[in-house]
Amino acid sequence: MENHVSSSVIGNPRAPYQTALAKACGTVAHDSTVGSPSLPNYLGATAGTTFGIGDDDSPRSHVLTADNLFRQVRLAGGTERSYEESMPANCSLTASGPYAVKHNPAAYFAGDGDRAACLADDVPLGTPASGNLADDLANDSLPTFSFVTPNLCNDTHDCSVATGDTWLRTWIPKILSSPAYLSGNTAVMLVYDEYTPVPNVFVTPSTPVGAVMTGAANHYALLRATEQMLGIGSLLGSAATAADLRAALNM
């Protein structure tokens, strides 16, 4: 999700679903960005570094060959897939209508099989009734790691908090009622890219109701928690020294 501080989402009457989800699940009270504008935060959450990038330019301007979460999952024998709403074709490297490539981190990595994997597994989201994510949920065929990105309206970048809340109220219950989540080994991390403090909710079967981490954290901590839950032993970049969300929220 995009471009709000926590207080404009959690507790906002225009975001009743996210507010209720936060009360029922876990949150980080002081979650921070790792850069600005959007792109550095997406890269930080998937590679442990912003690579010194301070813009939202396309993958053609930023060809990154460094290790990243998507590659880590594949090399560990798992599968990964990005579901990008309104993307016109697999692994689109340019913005198109409400699709923003700057919110699609897998499209920026181009080393050690990354581009081929992007072409195969960076796919249009589809609709709640049909399409890639809906079908994978219904068929119990989710990959080991999923990265889901709404379009520029539904992520609240261009549209209201209420619009984003409605989108999440449509999709997250589908995830939580899926065989993947009901099996007890799936976590859902709902995170905005900016601004500080970053709105967030962590939904797992083991997180206590209303759990709140009060210590400082950031998108590198999000990466650390993801790598830990996936059983990846080597933490990328600044994830190695980031706060331990998994321990704080019992994930």
Q: DSSP secondary-structure letter at 155? A: T
d(CA 60, CA 64): 10
Rounded mean pLDDT, 235-248 = 98
pLDDT score of 4: 98
Task: Give the mean pLDDT of the chain.
Answer: 98
- Are the C-beta atoms of residues 221 and 64 closer than 8 Å to each other? no
The percentage of residues in the chain with a pLDDT greater than 70, rounded to a whole number, is 100
pLDDT score of 56: 98
Phi, psi of 7 (to 5 degrees): -70, -20
| SS3 state at 150 | coil
Partner residues linked to 96 by β-bridges: 99
What's the start-to-end Cα distance of the chain, in Å?
Answer: 21
**pTM of the predicted model, to two decimals?**
0.98
Per-residue pLDDT tens digits for 47-96: 999 999 999 999 999 999 999 999 999 999 999 999 999 999 999 999 99
d(CA 224, CA 244): 7
- Are the C-beta atoms of residues 191 and 8 closer than 8 Å to each other? no
Phi, psi of 170 (to 5 degrees): -85, -45
Split at pLDDT 50, 70, 90, the class of 192 is very high
**Cα dihedral 105→110→112→116 (10° resolution):** 90
Question: DSSP states of 179-229 as a string?
Answer: HHHHTT---EEEE-S-SSSPPEEEE-TTSPTTEEEEEEEEHHHHHHHHHHH
Phi, psi of 179 (to 5 degrees): -55, -35
* Domains of the chain: residue spans and CATH: 6-249 (3.40.720.10)
pLDDT score of 94: 98
d(CA 50, CA 73): 20
For residue 197, say if its preceding peptide bond is cis, omega within 30 degrees of 0.
Answer: yes
d(CA 67, CA 46): 9
Per-residue pLDDT tens digits for 207-239: 999 999 999 999 999 999 999 999 999 999 999
